[in-house]
Amino acid sequence: MRILLHRADGKTEPWIKDFGKYLPEAEVEIWHAGEKNQACDYAVVWSPPEAMLPELAQVKAIFVTGAGVDAILKFSDAIPAHIPIIRLEDAGMGMQMAEYVTHSVLRYYRRLDEYEAQARAGQWLPLPQHHKEDFAIGVMGMGVLGTRVLEALAPFGFPLRGWSRTQKAMPGVQCFHGEDGLDTFLRGTRVLVCMLPLTPDTNNIMSRTNMCKLPQGAFLINVARGAHLAEPDLVTLIKSGHIAAATLDVFRNEPLPLQHPFWQEPRITITPHISALTLRRESVVQVTEKIRKFAQGEQVAGVVDRNRGY
């Protein structure tokens, strides 16, 4: 069995070592632009370069070392439809998302962002507490990661809401779905958490119009993709006070350019796309299990539906 591996960061050795440990029957070949590769059975990629497409079109299955597949689906037309594109499901990302989102929610609820600013100014000033009943958290995207985040938030007693494409039921969570459910979902959400895949339907979902449906003084947490958010409109709505603050892990251009207005806005917290990192060992273990199942002709979970876009 031969695996074609591409790592944009060039750090291939630890991956080869882990595949050697968990899938010893596989030979791992590193993809290099302009070099002729031997025919491979499977490809393991994250955001493949366009030059890799001829090789990707020859394998039996493509494994993506991430949860989101927007970076590979932009080349969907060049990858024959019979080749499954299989993404990571959780693989240690659920816990990381739970940590990141819970931290961000509690930071706003307990006004720790304001106390940080006060402390920098040498100010000792207790602020009125927020009330939990006014602090409904709405998670857009109730998939593998969104569900994990809702579970993590449950013990704190906030009103919880979720929005998905298809109808869902989750204990303790008020569920909304589809375009018809979006308005009501947004109007009752104080902290909006975006955990959606980026598709033509979800692109720019945090538009000015949709952000204006949130109550005055709402908070935004985007851990999905930068293109979900109308970036200039967020700055306007923060300046007007409609949005109180935002925590953003993802941006339309990454790394976020130094001249971007977000850097100048103290009510925007910026992190460099780290809310849930691909964990190498967990990923290799999951890809190994899926390759073994696939090779046996068994059903594999995480196959991307190219029509849906996730």
DSSP code of residue 48: -
Site map (CB under 6 A) of ligand NAP, residues 241-260, x = contact: --------xx----------
User: Hey, is 105 helix, strand or coil?
Assistant: helix
Q: What is the rounded distance in angstroms from the CA atom of residue 140 to the CA atom of residue 19?
A: 35
Q: Does 302 bind ligand NAP (CB under 6 A)?
A: no
Q: How far is CA 307 from CA 22, 81, 89, 201, 205, in A?
A: 33, 10, 19, 11, 19
Residue with tokens 């990454």: 254
The length of the chain is: 310
Q: Does 68 bind ligand GLV (CB under 6 A)?
A: yes
The one of ligand GLV, ligand NAP, none whose footprint includes residue 98, by CB under 5 to 8 A per kind, is: none
Q: What is the rounded distance in angstroms from the CA atom of residue 42 to the CA atom of residue 59?
A: 5
CB 225, min distance to ligand GLV, A: 8
Q: What is the rounded distance in angstroms from the CA atom of residue 206 to the CA atom of residue 214?
A: 10
- Which of 80, 201, 239, 257 forms a contact with ligand NAP (CB under 6 A)? 201
Q: What is the rounded distance in angstroms from the CA atom of residue 127 to the CA atom of residue 259?
A: 33
Tokens representing residue 175 in the block: 């569920």
CB 97, min distance to ligand GLV, A: 10
Whether 273 sits among the annotated catalytic residues: the reply is yes
Helices of type H across 37-177: 53-56, 70-73, 93-109, 112-120, 144-153
Whether 111 sits among the annotated catalytic residues: the reply is no
What number of chain residues touch ligand NAP (CB under 6 A)? 29
Tokens representing residue 58 in the block: 């020859």
The one of ligand GLV, ligand NAP, none whose footprint includes residue 249, by CB under 5 to 8 A per kind, is: ligand NAP
- Which of 44, 67, 150, 220 forms a contact with ligand GLV (CB under 6 A)? 67
Q: Does 194 bind ligand GLV (CB under 6 A)?
A: no
Which is nearer to ligand GLV, 135 or 197 (by Cβ)?
Answer: 197
The one of ligand NAP, ligand GLV, none whose footprint includes residue 199, by CB under 5 to 8 A per kind, is: ligand NAP
Q: What is the rounded distance in angstroms from the CA atom of residue 303 to the CA atom of residue 32?
A: 26
Which is nearer to ligand GLV, 67 or 196 (by Cβ)?
Answer: 67
The residue annotated as part of the active site, out of 111, 130, 208, 273, is 273
DSSP code of residue 85: E
DSSP E strand boundaries for 159-251: 160-164, 173-177, 191-194, 218-222, 243-248
User: Hey, is 293 helix, strand or coil?
Assistant: helix
Residue with tokens 């306007």: 236
Q: What is the rounded distance in angstroms from the CA atom of residue 194 to the CA atom of residue 185?
A: 13
CB 224, min distance to ligand NAP, A: 4
- Which of 15, 23, 52, 66 forms a contact with ligand GLV (CB under 6 A)? 66
CB 57, min distance to ligand NAP, A: 24
Query: Dihedral (C-alpha) 200, 105, 138, 216: value to the nearest 10 degrees?
Result: -100
Which is nearer to ligand NAP, 16 or 101 (by Cβ)?
Answer: 101
Q: Does 302 bind ligand GLV (CB under 6 A)?
A: no
- Which of 276, 284, 287, 291 forms a contact with ligand NAP (CB under 6 A)? 276
Residues making contact with ligand GLV (CB under 6 A)? 66-68, 278
Residues making contact with ligand NAP (CB under 6 A)? 67-68, 93, 141-146, 163-166, 195-199, 201-202, 223-225, 249-250, 273, 275-276, 310
Active site residues: 225, 273
